[in-house]
Amino acid sequence: MTDQQYRYMKKVIAINGSPRAEGNTALALGEMARELAAAGIVSLEKMTARLHVDHANAALLAQLLSDIPDVAVHTGRVKINMVFWSVANPSFRQDAFLDYLSRNGIKSNGQESPGEYRFVVHNDISREDVGIVARAVREYVATL
């Protein structure tokens, strides 16, 4: 990141939540656009260098999930930092599953499409976290 970009990001951070944007939709939208641009700059300059870590963690999660009975990982789609999977057990209930994950500190949006779930591995998800998620899925499925 250049010094100019860094100064710009500091300025954006200083403006964020500024009372001068209250009631001024154009100004608020402009500030949001600058924040998105700053996040994009960080993503392109910093996060691409560690993208291989996210891909490796996604591959590990896919492997761990595929070892769970009744869980099918859509392995053809694990070429990115997302793992798509489904459960064949008819007793599996999304609401109970999401509640179980939440009680274990795991965030999930539920089904991506009918019967299909997705986990996303990113900068804030460690290799240890991957193991925790897989263990939680295994434990929940074992109760069915």
pLDDT at 19: 47
pTM: 0.68
What is 51-142's CATH superfamily? Aspartate Aminotransferase, domain 1 (3.90.1150.10)
Where in the chain are the domains? Answer: 3-49, 51-142
pLDDT at 86: 94
Per-residue pLDDT tens listing for the chain (144 residues): 556 655 555 455 454 555 454 455 555 566 666 776 666 666 666 656 677 788 899 999 999 999 999 999 988 766 788 899 999 999 999 999 999 999 999 988 888 788 899 998 887 888 999 999 999 999 999 999
Cβ 47 vs Cβ 87: under 8 Å: no
Q: How far from 12 is each of 2, 25, 33, CA to CA, in Å?
A: 15, 17, 10
